[in-house]
Amino acid sequence: MRFTISARGKPSEVPLLAFLARNYANVPIAEIDSVFGFVEHTPLYGGRMFSRPELTPHDIGEMYYAGVGLRLPLTNHYATEAEYEATRPLLAKYHRDGNAAIVTNDNLARWIRRDFPKYRIEASVIKNLRTTDRVRAALDLYDTVVLPMELNEDEAFLRDVPNKDRVTLFANAGCALTCPSKICYVAVSKYNKALCGEFKCSQPLKERDMLGMVDFDLQRLAALGFSRFKLLRSRPGGMTGY
């Protein structure tokens, strides 16, 4: 198994390897493919609101020394050419074998592929790939894809998914598992453009079960042919979101 691990919320003063040992002690470094989190700001971030860098230059150096790649969460729904051009210095800084970009916008994926071919480009969970046809279409553009976490429980679907070696599943899940609409994704995309705006969450609009952090049976998923997993860190209270 290979894991991509979240550094979301990591204090910048805490060295990365210490953070991993504290929060992911059961995952051997040899099984960590990459770590994702904010470096310097770009308007192309999505998923979570940017407030500060989470991965410092020292952290990046530790990762490279340990053979762990950086995954840039460029998951904003919206991407203009001007924003891409402004982000090119950041992309150039981390352009090396083993690093990856998580992307939602197809145009952004094409621009990165054209100009920075060493990046592996992964289709974000935000693309909401729920049919095998959509997965196949995404794999024409992306190196790998992330499936919505609730599909981990749909064994019939998982058996039919093509190119399982290029598919990433969630190893655990938080509030998005039961979210009916995920309106936060678009709100965060807008916020990260100018570092201001209104956060929106569906929880006050439509009550739902909040299950806390849910761990999936990775041995069952591995038996179905999957080996790539995305691992989240719980927030206080055992949640990843609201």
Using one digit for the tens of pLDDT, what is the confidence trace for 115-143? 999 999 999 998 999 999 999 999 999 99
Joined together, the tokens standing for residue 209 give 């079960």
- At residue 33, the 3 state secondary structure works out as strand
- DSSP code, position 239: B
86: pLDDT strictly greater than 80: yes
> pTM for this one?
0.88
Across the chain, mean pLDDT equals: 89
pLDDT at res. 242: 44
Reported as a pLDDT band with limits 50, 70 and 90, residue 176 is low
185: pLDDT strictly greater than 90: no
Reported as a pLDDT band with limits 50, 70 and 90, residue 174 is confident
The pLDDT of 86-105, averaged and rounded, is 98
46 contact partners, CB below 8 Å, separation of at least 6 = 73, 74, 75, 76, 77, 104, 124, 126, 185, 188, 189, 192
pLDDT at res. 240: 58
- DSSP code, position 213: -
- Chain position carrying tokens 């460029």: 74
Residue 230 CB neighbour total at 10 angstroms = 24
Between 234 and 192, the more confident residue is 192
